[in-house]
Amino acid sequence: MNDASVGGSVRALDRGLAVLDLLAASADGLSAPELAEHFQLSRATVYRLLATLVAGGYVSTAPGTSRYWVAPAVDRWVLGHESHLTLSNLARPEMERLADRTHESIGIHVRDGHCRIARRKVEPPNQSLLYVVPVGSLRAVVGGPPEQSCCSTTTGMLARCASDTRLG
C-alpha cells in the first residue's frame, strides 16, 4: 500500500468527497481558505482539489467570487436515481393539486449558486401553454437577490399556495 492510501481508501478521493459534503451543507458556498481551515489542509491542496472538482463539473464558482458550491453534475446523479424521499418526489402530489386548481404549469427548481436546476414539472390536463424548461436543465436565478428568489423559497411557496383560499 502506498502512502496515498489509508485503511484501503484513497486519501485524495476521501478529501474530495468531504469537500463535496461540506459544500452541499453550505447554502452560501465556501471559500478555499475556509475549506483549508476546516479540513486543516494547505490552501494549495484545497485549490488542487477544487480545480479537479470544478473540471469534473462537481463544484462551481461564480465569476468574480471566491466562493464554491456543489454543481449540477452532483444534482444530476440524483435526477437519474431519485429516491422516494427527494424534494421533487415529496412535492409532486402538492404540485399536481396546485396544477389542477390553477390550470397552470408547476415547476420545482433547486438553487445551485447563481443558477437553478429544474427538478420536476407538472402540467395540468388540457393546457395549451406548456412549461418549457426541461427537467435537469440549468438556468440563471432571476428576479432579485437569491434570498428573495422563488428558487430559494419553493417549499414555502407550495405551502402558501396550497392553503390560499383564493385559488380554485
Are 18 and 38 spatial neighbours (Cβ–Cβ below 8 Å)?
no
Q: Is residue 168 part of a domain?
A: no
Q: Is residue 136 part of a domain?
A: yes
Are 120 and 95 spatial neighbours (Cβ–Cβ below 8 Å)?
yes
Closest to 50 (Cα-Cα) out of 59, 41, 42 = 59
* 140 vs 68 pLDDT, higher one: 68
Q: Are residues 44 and 90 in the same domain?
A: no
Q: Is residue 80 part of a domain?
A: yes
Q: 104: burial class by Cβ within 10 Å (0-12, 13-18, 19+)?
A: middle
Q: Which domain holds residue 22?
A: 5-70
pTM for this prediction: 0.49
Q: Are residues 97 and 134 in the same domain?
A: yes
Does 46 score more than 80 pLDDT?
yes
Question: Which residue type occupies 106?
Answer: I
Q: Are residues 158 and 81 in the same domain?
A: yes
* pLDDT at position 158: 41
Does 8 score more than 80 pLDDT?
no
Look at the block and give the residue holding cell 434570498.
Answer: 147
**Domain-ending residue, one of 34, 54, 70:** 70
Give the whole-angstrom CA distance, residue 98 versus residue 115.
25
* pLDDT at position 112: 67
Q: Which of 10-19, 20-29, 73-82, 155-164 holds the top average pLDDT?
A: 10-19
Distance of alpha carbon 81 from the chain centroid: 15
* pLDDT at position 81: 53
CATH number at residue 41: 1.10.10.10
Does 18 score more than 90 pLDDT?
yes
Q: Are residues 36 and 96 in the same domain?
A: no
Does 130 score more than 70 pLDDT?
no
**Total structural domains within the chain:** 2
Q: Are residues 80 and 151 in the same domain?
A: yes
Q: Are residues 110 and 65 in the same domain?
A: no
Q: Are residues 61 and 132 in the same domain?
A: no
* pLDDT at position 52: 95
